[in-house]
Structure 1
């Protein structure tokens, strides 16, 4: 199960610019070249074409469209590394063709999760902040920048009709005090659940969350794996809804930039990829 994506990219573009020697113009040129190279590498990944589907752990599928695309596990590892995050090895990426967010998916084979638990948001946040302290210590030892959990962006809420649990967390980068918002969704299935984490900026949270939810309409469990298809004798998870929040809300992802124009860049070349893109978490020059 994919557990953590460390937030590291808030340092990268600024570091490239700072390392450039000479005049401000030369420093700006160096940063621009670094952006173009980043764009070239991201555009070269195996983004799905419209109308094709990507499998998620053989339990579910995401169908790419004119609006949303998808990466498998190997390319997701590369994508996250390019954005300054450690590769999880078992995650998938969804992203808009035009937009400035991305989502990370993974499947946990925990069994059928009963959804009758009452959620105590205050108690869960207290546990998450304690976890955040320990997580940051591990990141320091591994050489990744740290982020401090500030609170809920969206308190936990469960939709019994769609079988989806959702919450959002607000983090601050300890390096440059830039904000990061993760919105997490858990999609319950017959034999486990899908973790779907939206990575975005507080400034665009509402619009990006709506777009993220729209993208998830193209995600569904395959026949035999839907929540409604559980039957007596199937594995039942030992955890409830609250444990899903505690087990996943402290995962932090970061981005060196948005993904606007990604398919145009794949078609037309890397130079167009990052032109005019809003940097979500990079320092200002």
Structure 2
């Protein structure tokens, strides 16, 4: 099935390469790729019985198998375990849209995250620490052939809802010298054994749309009995090495080596997804610009 999908996708993109002088043909090829996906609505049961996702009106859900195809085959990410439980996106938007946003869903069974530090965190100081860590990580990224990542600042400062046990925040990020900055909107829903992770993949021009839809997205996750935060049993349950501040920073604050930090950074913040979205869309947009103007391709754009 996966080979068939890749062959169909390759054929469509090859045909698209010959249709750059005809925007209507380009649009038809994009629509053909979109029709490879089947979306769901209503209530989605998550694997392992941890909970469910209730899809609100105006949104749709792409299951884990198809979402993995998007992340790996369309957007070029390396395949890895537990990279997605599916995607949530607006009803009128597709995975090939060059505007809007997509929320990727993951579950990380890191244990029970204590939230006692939530009121004590100085998020300005934490931001400065994250910026320093990003600069240090850029040394390793450069060695691996990736462009540097700069954390410009908070697009929305961290907020923790104690009653609902939901943490959310947004960062503005720049890849290399790209003039278009990436929006990294993060949601963490705390449970008994871990956290449900929702990461928005988008760009800063779409921040308003993401922020406007955020109340709907915050309501979609429902843990089942036995998996809720208040079901924690200190006698048998594991306590996470993460804190609220650690979730925001993207690393374990206590005794974490640099290598461990990198692993958690990619796993929680999902910047790898954003980096490779850019690689895919730069090819598409570059060809469109070259066809329209006869000049060199446009610089890479983040999506």
Same fold (TM > 0.5): yes
Structure with a larger share of its residues in helix: 2
Give the deviation of 1:70 after TM superposition. Answer: 1.9
Aligned to 2:90: 96
Residue ranges of structure 1 left out of the alignment (5+ in a row): 1-15, 257-280
Distance 1:60 1:144, change over 3 A: farther
SS at match of 1:44: coil
Whether 1:67 aligns to 2:58 is: yes
How has the CA–CA distance of structure 1 residues 164 and 129 changed in structure 2, closer, same or farther, with 3 Å as cutoff?
same
Alpha carbons 1:198, 1:209 under 8 Å: kept:
no
Look up the match of 2:287: none
3-state SS, counterpart of residue 244 of structure 1? helix
Matched, 1:131 2:123: no
Q: Deviations over 1:87-115 (max 9, x none)?
A: 44411311111252110111111111111
Quote the Cα distance in structure 1 between the aligned partners of 2:209 and 2:64: 27
Pair 1:283–1:116, CA change in 2 (3 A): closer
The CA deviation at 1:72 is: 3.1
Structure 2 CA distance for aligned equivalents of residues 210 and 282 of structure 1: 27
Deviates more, 1:177-186 or 1:231-240: 231-240
Q: In terms of mean alpha carbon deviation, does 152-161 or 125-134 score higher?
A: 125-134
Which secondary structure state, in structure 2, belongs to the residue aligned with residue 165 of structure 1? Answer: strand
What is the distance in 2 between the residues matched to 1:164 and 1:237? Answer: 16
- Higher mean alpha-carbon deviation, 125-134 vs 234-243, is at 125-134
Q: Tell me how far apart the structure 2 counterparts of residues 33 and 106 of structure 1 sit (CA, whole Å).
A: 36
Is 2:103 aligned against 1:112?
no
Change (3 A) 1:214 1:78: same
Distance 1:137 1:34 in 2: 39
Equivalence map 1:157-168=2 (5 Å):
157-168=159-170
In structure 2, do the counterparts of structure 1 residues 157 and 215 end up closer, same or farther at CA, with 3 Å as the change threshold? Answer: closer
Q: TM-score, normalised by structure 2?
A: 0.66
- Counterpart mapping for 1:145-160 below 5 A: 146-160=148-162
Question: 2: distance between equivalents of 1:123 and 1:177?
Answer: 26
Aligned position for 1:51? 42
The alpha-carbon deviation at position 204 of structure 1 amounts to: 3.0
Q: Which residue of 2 aligns with 1:266?
A: none
Residue 4 (structure 1) aligns with: none
* CA–CA distance in structure 2, aligned partners of residues 201 and 58 of structure 1: 33
Deviations 1:218-274 (A, max 9, x none): 221112111121123122222211111112575424357xxxxxxxxxxxxxxxxxx
Whether 2:242 is the aligned partner of 1:239: answer yes
From 157, 168, 171, the equivalent of 1:169 is 171
TM-score, structure 1 as length reference: 0.70
What is the rounded CA distance, in whole Å, between the counterparts of 2:158 and 2:130 in structure 1? 13
Could you say if the C-alpha distance between residues 191 and 200 of structure 1 is closer, same or farther in structure 2, counting changes exceeding 3 Å? same
Name which structure has the greater RCO, CA cutoff 8 Å, separation 6+: 1
